[in-house]
Structure 1
Amino acid sequence: MADVDAYPEEPKQARSAEELGRMLEANERRKARRAPVMVSLQRTRDGSLSLDSPHDDPQGWQVRLGDAFGTRSDTFAVGQLNHLLGMVRPDEQAPEIEANTMLAAVEAVRPENELEGMLAVQMAATHRLAMECLQRSAVATTPEQMTANGNLASKLLRTYTAQIEALAKVRRGGAQKVTVKHVHVHEGGQAIVGNVDANSRVTSDTREGGRSDNGPQPHAPRDERTIAPAKCQPLRSSNAEREAVPVAGREGEGAMPDARRRDRKRSPKR
């Protein structure tokens, strides 16, 4: 008797016209992207990895490999590639996919020199280990294993973020630039129009009208109009007559009564 599938596979839905349009748009964006360099990688019988060019032009492949690591040195490019291949597990069933995944991540950084190339390799390797720790934490059989792998993954992800910040700092030369798009100055206030460094000094490209009277001092401006109290209605007191209590800052000064010297009527002694 032939085996009968109790759960026959349901036919898939037909592709809609809207989905076809999305696929064509995605294909156009994909063709506009840069195709990363790849390697041909096979595992030999003794467990080692055999590296080769993916096509019949090894010299051109070597040039692309050096460009991916931001260098003209073939030795440097091969050395960094070996660092990436060292991240492939010995029991990896698809070592070529794993190696080309990390290599594509390195080329996505577009290193401009060897220093950026090394940072890119570190970022790819850190991400590789972080994802492996997360996978081990997901399939852990004990809370201890889940905690250990989760903590290690968290540290690696923080390291990955620090590496991205280090790369950004290297590319901007260590200088920090802050750009203000919109500045709102209310009536009576003052604003500095120009570049201000960490010591609150206005640089030479400050335009006229943006001078600050305070200099490097972080105090209030000298113009009293900026700290003058706004006019408002007097506050109401809590007494029965509901007499108005003037707000602070009125013109002139008046003596305040001393509440502790109020005359009190003493009760007769018994």
Structure 2
Amino acid sequence: MGKSVGQVSTSQKPPKREPTPQEQRGIDKALAYCRGRTAPIAFEISKAEGSDISVGIPHNNAGGFIAQQRATFGTVSQAFADRAGGEVGNALRNRGEALPSPNALNAGVAAIAGIEPQNEQEAMLAVQMVGTHAMAMEMMNLAKQTESPDRLERYGNLATKFLRTYTTQMETLAKLRRGGEQTVRVEHVHVYQGGQAVVHQVTQVGGQHGGSLENENQAHALIGSPAHALPAGTPMLRQDTGGAGMPVARGGREEAVPDARGSRRKRGAER
């Protein structure tokens, strides 16, 4: 029997099921993660007819919000924080729009908060990273939507350039936070009787003008079969009492390593 005009339907959608145990574990993990993170600031944006853009604060603690805004951009300057926030909004507003949507601006500010700039220099780099990421995603979206091979290639190339730039920006930020130092890992291999080898990992930390060597005190890696392990109590690293002697891998005796400089002088004299 059909429903008459004006009749109110009393049918309701069936209730949702309870989460499965696996889903509940995921929910619990996500809740713990969210509780452990600090919520980023969120602006309220509005624009009245014939007036300037109004950026509001969502709660009544204005002083706390301003302090959080400055900390987000790694500064104590309100002028710098305002300018950086405006640059984030300009980078994320859609084409033809006078101002970004609240979601776009607050998403960009959340990205800055995730980078956690510690000073104005890092904040400027973080703002650039937000803009670069936005342009890369826009080019990828245009490449996905087009049916022209020429445009696909053009947008794809631009997206690749932006993605490479973003990677360079991340590397630059990491280098700034290391104080401009470069880390080089060096391995020293010592060969002992029985074909065993002990690998030392040493980290060199320094800038362009050199640096210091630091032993990482990691467990030494033994190369070879466990059946040929050195006997208990055998020193793994020992001082060579024979001068410049070098251990022989397969029996025999230790022989002094010839002086390379002396060999060159001797060959020169023979000529």
Give the structure-2-normalised TM-score: 0.64
Candidates 126, 129, 132, aligned match of 1:123:
129
**Hey, what's the Cα distance between the residues in 1 that align with 2:239 and 2:65?**
57
Q: After the TM superposition, which of the residue ranges 93-102 and 44-53 deviates more from structure 2?
A: 44-53
**Hey, what's the Cα distance between the residues in 1 that align with 2:115 and 2:205?**
30
Q: After the TM superposition, which of the residue ranges 41-50 and 117-126 deviates more from structure 2?
A: 41-50
Q: Specify the alignment match of 2:192 in structure 1.
A: 187
Go from structure 1 to structure 2 and tell me whether the alpha carbon gap of 1:229 and 1:144 turns closer, same or farther (over 3 Å shift). farther
Q: How does 1:40-189 map to 2 (within 5 A)?
A: 40-45=44-49, 49-87=53-91, 88-89=93-94, 90-91=96-97, 95-178=101-184, 185-187=190-192
**Hey, what's the Cα distance between the residues in 2 that align with 1:195 and 1:177?**
7
**Hey, what's the Cα distance between the residues in 2 that align with 1:170 and 1:159?**
16
Say whether residues 1:34 and 2:35 are aligned partners: no
The structure with the largest alpha-carbon Rg is 1
Q: Which runs of 5+ in 2 are unaligned?
A: 4-12, 218-236, 253-271
Is the CA contact (8 Å cut-off) linking 2:135 and 2:162 kept in structure 1? yes
Go from structure 1 to structure 2 and tell me whether the alpha carbon gap of 1:99 and 1:222 turns closer, same or farther (over 3 Å shift). farther
Q: How many pairs were matched up?
A: 212
Q: Which runs of 5+ in 1 are unaligned?
A: 3-8, 212-220, 231-270
> Cα RMSD between the aligned structures?
4.0
What's the secondary structure of 2:45's corresponding residue?
strand
**Hey, what's the Cα distance between the residues in 2 that align with 1:156 and 1:119?**
14
**Hey, what's the Cα distance between the residues in 2 that align with 1:163 and 1:112?**
16
Go from structure 1 to structure 2 and tell me whether the alpha carbon gap of 1:46 and 1:130 turns closer, same or farther (over 3 Å shift). farther
Higher strand share: 2
Go from structure 1 to structure 2 and tell me whether the alpha carbon gap of 1:135 and 1:47 turns closer, same or farther (over 3 Å shift). farther
What letter matches 1:66 in structure 2?
R
**Hey, what's the Cα distance between the residues in 2 that align with 1:202 and 1:222?**
29
**Hey, what's the Cα distance between the residues in 2 that align with 1:159 and 1:91?**
26
Give the structure-1-normalised TM-score: 0.64
Q: How does 1:217-256 map to 2 (within 5 A)?
A: 223=246, 225=248
Is the CA contact (8 Å cut-off) linking 1:192 and 1:210 kept in structure 2? no
